[in-house]
Amino acid sequence: MRALVSGASLIDGECIRGGRTGPRADDPAGPEGPDAQGRVRRSRHCPVGRVPDINVVGGGLRKCSAEPTTGFYRDGCCATGPEDAGSHTVCSIVTGEFLRFSRLAGNDLSTPAPQLGFPGLAPGDRWCVCAPRWLEAERAGCAPGVVLAATHERALEVIPIEMLLANAVEPDPGGVAPDG
């Protein structure tokens, strides 16, 4: 089964690097491809710098959440690339305690921001959390559970695998389905 989700392809719930390579229909930059002078144009919506989608246990990166849609590329996956300065790589099932911690640390994830297309999170939602923030929360004793198959291997640059394993949870089997 193949589904297209805003920038990434999903095959049986697995995030595939590259996904959609063309511009959105409303892209004012116009189509990809050579211009009149033969220069190649790329859509700003193509994740050109995206790194391979491998999870922390060595398999293909699984989808974290489509409802709410998460990920740096807002494709449901905790994929990353050079543009992702915050390393949104840890697929977490957020808790009320973590949401309070995050708000106090300066990142209010529970308040909706409709102007940014952000619905606000509630306990039980899955979200691609920044690896440094997750590590801060773990050290403060309020780290949310981690879905290992949906956590990008780049999280290991910040968080020891032992910490992720100690906080691993199995999500609702319907929660990581390919079509959300």
pLDDT at residue 16, rounded to an integer: 57
pLDDT at residue 50, rounded to an integer: 82
Residue 67 reports pLDDT greater than 70:
yes
CATH number for region 2-24+40-176: 3.30.56.110
Q: Mean pLDDT of all residues in the chain? A: 78
User: What residue segments make up the domains of the chain, in order of their start?
Assistant: 2-24+40-176
pLDDT digits (tens, 9 = 90+) for 123-154: 999 999 999 999 999 999 999 999 999 999 99
In this prediction, what percent of the chain has a pLDDT beyond 90?
A: 63
Beta carbons of 66 and 126 less than 8 angstroms apart: no
Beta carbons of 54 and 151 less than 8 angstroms apart: no
The set of residues, in sequence order, having a beta carbon less than 8 Å from that of 66 and lying 6+ positions away, is: 5, 76, 179, 180
d(CA 145, CA 122): 14
pLDDT at residue 20, rounded to an integer: 34
